[in-house]
Structure 1
Amino acid sequence: MMNQAFSIDYFILLAGLLLVAGVITAKFSTRLGVPALVLFLLVGMLAGSDGLGFIYFDNPTYAQLIGILALVIILFEGGLQTKWSTIKRVAAPSLSLATIGVILTSSGVAVAAKFILDVSWLEAFLFGAIVGSTDAAAVFAVLKGKNIRKRLGSTLEAESGTNDPMAVFLTISFIELLVSDQPNYLFMLGSFFWQMGLGIVFGFALGKIASLAINRINLDSSGLYPVFALAFALLTYSVTALIGASGLLAVYIAALVIGNSDLTYRHSIFRFNEGFAWMMQILMFVILGLLVFPTQLFDWDIIIRGVVLSLLLMLVARPIAVFLSTIGMGFSVKERTFLAWAGLRGAVPIVLATFPMIAGLENSQLFFNVIFFVVLTSALIQGSTISFFAEKLHLTGTQKQTPLHSLELVSIGKANAEIIEIEISENNIVANQSLAEISFPKDVLVNAIIRQGDLITPAGDTRLQAGDILYVLVAKQSKQAVKTLFADKEPMLD
């Protein structure tokens, strides 16, 4: 009994230490100019049996479970933060990159893998499929806070949020071809349309149901609303996956619907999921770092093959795929060059690399080690130079400002009122107007204005400026009228 209690306490201690190490590395990743995900992977490798020996972990099934769960949370948080007004303007290039781009990238890498890894053509295309997609966790983390032009950043985020289903479909399809004696190609084609089509339908439907349920139900504690929203993310993935459709695509679509709906306790839901996504990102990359054994990874044979494949992916396969899949979509050569360079690989390829291991394929361990090295070099080289390339190509926009203030927004359920946050942009309808000039509904009160980090006490002659953040007390029945009153003119993407 004492030994069992000690094991539990030891496990909890290690979990706490790994999270602390993850948070600290995230804090210093920006100063070091290295993406946080690389440091998370290194923490896992350091804590593993080939490092300090704290944890021995070699179970790809558990790693896959944790990885998929983390991807669900990360995609959900990313979708919540994405605005329809932005995504609809980049829908065509994003979807083209997420489908045609993934196929072209996978094919290009497969040709190289056939000769570099000395495997069969089916195995080569399996390898290409695994590394064919960009990674949502990596892209969201690296682009957050960067002043990349809005159209480019939105395209990359939308691509990374929607291309995982294609990579998953291709990976599973090639595994089935390898293990099946009589593959059914017609069935695989039908499966693609089934997975993508129902993924979109279920994501949209469950997103609408979730938004309605969050607003209609009256829970006793405000802390339950973020949990309720997260429950719908897990439900959306599982229900969609159980019918053989793309659960990851459904989660991202549902998050877009929820995030662009008029939600009660919106601020709490967003902040909770942002923190939880960070925790799952740390956990996922640390676990994936534990799964790899550095003595196998840093073998000269793996290093040489990994470097060559990584360079071919970054400098040949991805650029060709981007330039071909964005023809006629209004991107300049510089912009397409940047889109090609910013195609980060991250957790998704490593998680997908566990599929051949679980299936017991002959070269699965070789694939995992090479893919891990490809991801590591991609994140390290591309992730640390995104801002540099954007500046050199003159593709930076207005510097993103992180608010220095902190104000917890609340929904006052019993009083049927809310405090909402409104940011005044340059193309806002009420920009440069005084509060007295604005026709507010009678049950609305502007409580505070934050301007360049300073608190401004609102008065009738206070004139609103671009960048102002307003905190407004409003009755729920007037909430939509206030949002319409403070609506932006038709936004333009850089």
Structure 2
Amino acid sequence: MIDLEPFSLIMLLVAGALLAAVLTHRLSARLRVPAPALFLLAASLASDVVPGLEHIPVTVDERIVTVALVFILFDGGMHIGWHRFRQSAGAIAWIGIAGTAATAAALALAAHAFFGFGWGAALLIGAALSPTDPAVVFSVLGGREITGRTGTILEGESGANDPVGIALMISLLGATGGGLDAVAVGTADFMLQMAVGALIGFLAGHGLLALMRKVALPNEALHSVGTMAAVAFIYAATTLLHGSGFLAVFLAGIIIGDQRAPHKRDIERFSAGIASLAEIVAFTVLGLSVPLLEVLRSGELGTGLALAGLLILIIRPALVGLLTIPIRLRRGERAFILLAGLKGAVPILLGMFILSAGPPDASRIYSIIFIVVLTSVIVQGTLVPYLAALLHVPMRRIDPEPWGIGLRFTDEPHGLHRHVVEPGSPADGSTIAEMALGESGWISMIRRDGQLIQVRGETTLHAGDVVLALSDSETGLARLFKQPR
């Protein structure tokens, strides 16, 4: 007879910890500190109180965080969608690739010149801290809406430069030699990973979309489960083909994002739930890997804080700022993007790669990475809303909408479309009677600030209104709700 009491105790502790992590989001909202920062701090302190927690093998930590990032990136890609991504694709790719490389090079130079690291260790530090983090960026911006391209560029960069940073790190660790020679040797492998990842992500996204539209399963819930299984398959297959699996799942999510498909809303909700759970698991595991008091007592605290200051205040604003000059942005928007480049789970995951590879000073490098990330999440993540207000970047908080009502259809409801009124669009400030809806156009429902608005001829639409409209032509009505470009 199996003794269930020890197992039940473990289950009680795990479930209690997960419930506490979920409720931590309320504490995060009150303190205005990003939830990932609280997960990192709580888990790191727990590893001090219960020393056995820190002895999880680093390879297990890597695998857990890798799986978590796969679902976070896919969900983030779906949130962006192809329409938003296409409008800022050039800027995202340019900052994601060139900005990551420039940041890595500058950090490596600073680590070598100011802190005495050899070129090999300095390059690893630069590569690990160069990418921004989708888990933190999506978490901080997830409950907020930013007008214009600023939010799209920040989210897109965080998703695009993680595969770049990971591919760069793998290339450096796999290259023979050291210093600048390692960069030269790893370039071909890096480019191969990017090209294969982009190609498979594009094809897999369209393939998954076709699968979602054509395959009917007997249980509605299986569509969400099947989609998540397909996401894991895309990552694994791309990695086995020597491509960037992270880039592939991110692009697949973008392609699917704003397309219509059966059970799409259910899939989006399920994906968001999985991504939220993945965020909790990833930052908890990362926090357990480093006892906080031990790091604070180490001699690397000053080095980490100094590197964090250089990165946040000088390297990213100066170097990435120069790279953003060709991008058409207002001065405040440009400054916001440069100051809101948050670090998070991916740099710590790259630090785990370094620990596994076992180069000289691996533990020292990992401690420094952890300090820089913790500083970025707490300081930058907390200041994001205040920076937006200071730099006149329009940002509004999206209140939760716990109540919902809807209709389900056996076949695709042709002619029924959902639109959001953009600022400056023809619909913004116009009454329904004044809008050129055409003979077949009809607005059936309006939601404003979470409330249902009566549809009348004299009803005036405002920016941010969600409109449900019937029309024979989606593109004909869509132009009324979009800002002229």
Aligned partner of 2:461 among 451, 465, 472: 465
How big is each residue's C-alpha offset from its partner over 1:358-409, in whole Å with a ceiling of 9 and x where there is no partner?
1122211111111111100011111111111221122225x35436363254
| Percent of aligned positions that are identical | 31
CA gap 1:92/1:37 in 2 versus in 1, 3 angstroms: same
Aligned partner of 2:421 among 395, 419, 425: 425
Q: Look up the match of 1:343.
A: 341
Tell me if the contact between 2:85 and 2:152 (Cα under 8 Å) persists in the aligned partners: yes
- Distance of 2:43 and 2:403 partners within structure 1: 33
Paired residues for 1:239-250 under 5 Å: 239-250=237-248
Paired residues for 1:128-167 under 5 Å: 128-167=126-165
Q: Look up the match of 2:270.
A: 272
CA gap 1:20/1:185 in 2 versus in 1, 3 angstroms: closer
User: CA shift at 1:84, angstroms?
Assistant: 2.6
Amino acid aligned to 2:15: G
Tell me if the contact between 2:128 and 2:169 (Cα under 8 Å) persists in the aligned partners: yes
CA gap 1:122/1:150 in 2 versus in 1, 3 angstroms: same
CA gap 1:368/1:168 in 2 versus in 1, 3 angstroms: same
Q: Which runs of 5+ in 1 are unaligned?
A: none
CA gap 1:436/1:177 in 2 versus in 1, 3 angstroms: closer
Q: Look up the match of 2:72.
A: 74
Q: Look up the match of 2:321.
A: 323
Following TM superposition, where does structure 1 have runs of at least 4 consecutive aligned residues deviating by more than 4 angstroms? 178-181, 183-187, 415-421, 428-431, 434-438, 456-459, 461-464
User: CA shift at 1:334, angstroms?
Assistant: 3.5
State the secondary structure of the residue aligned to 2:447: strand
Q: Look up the match of 1:263.
A: 261
Q: Look up the match of 1:352.
A: 350
State the secondary structure of the residue aligned to 1:394: coil
- Distance of 1:385 and 1:238 partners within structure 2: 37
Q: Look up the match of 1:112.
A: 110
> Is 1:407–2:404 an aligned residue pair?
yes
Amino acid aligned to 2:418: I
- Distance of 1:490 and 1:449 partners within structure 2: 13
- Distance of 1:272 and 1:402 partners within structure 2: 20
- Distance of 1:291 and 1:320 partners within structure 2: 33
Number of aligned residue pairs: 479
Amino acid aligned to 2:478: A
How big is each residue's C-alpha offset from its partner over 1:454-481, in whole Å with a ceiling of 9 and x where there is no partner?
335667x584733444557x8xxx9xx4
How big is each residue's C-alpha offset from its partner over 1:74-130, in whole Å with a ceiling of 9 and x where there is no partner?
111111111333222222222111111111111111122224553311110111100
> Structure 2 length normalisation: TM-score?
0.89
Of stretches 250-259 and 168-177 in structure 1, the one that deviates more from structure 2 is 168-177
Q: Look up the match of 1:455.
A: 452
CA gap 1:55/1:418 in 2 versus in 1, 3 angstroms: farther
Q: Look up the match of 1:390.
A: 388
User: CA shift at 1:7, angstroms?
Assistant: 4.3
Q: Look up the match of 2:22.
A: 23
Q: Look up the match of 1:33.
A: 32
- Distance of 2:273 and 2:311 partners within structure 1: 32
Tell me if the contact between 1:425 and 1:488 (Cα under 8 Å) persists in the aligned partners: no
Q: Which runs of 5+ in 2 are unaligned?
A: none
State the secondary structure of the residue aligned to 2:404: coil
User: CA shift at 1:169, angstroms?
Assistant: 1.7
Aligned partner of 1:221 among 201, 219, 222: 219
How big is each residue's C-alpha offset from its partner over 1:10-43, in whole Å with a ceiling of 9 and x where there is no partner?
3322321221121111122122021111001122
Amino acid aligned to 2:336: F
State the secondary structure of the residue aligned to 1:298: helix
Q: Look up the match of 2:478.
A: 487
- Distance of 2:377 and 2:24 partners within structure 1: 15
Tell me if the contact between 1:110 and 1:126 (Cα under 8 Å) persists in the aligned partners: yes
How big is each residue's C-alpha offset from its partner over 1:313-334, in whole Å with a ceiling of 9 and x where there is no partner?
1112111221221122223443
- Distance of 2:94 and 2:257 partners within structure 1: 24
Amino acid aligned to 1:406: W
- Distance of 1:314 and 1:231 partners within structure 2: 37
User: CA shift at 1:422, angstroms?
Assistant: 1.9
Superposition RMSD in Å: 3.0
Amino acid aligned to 1:455: L
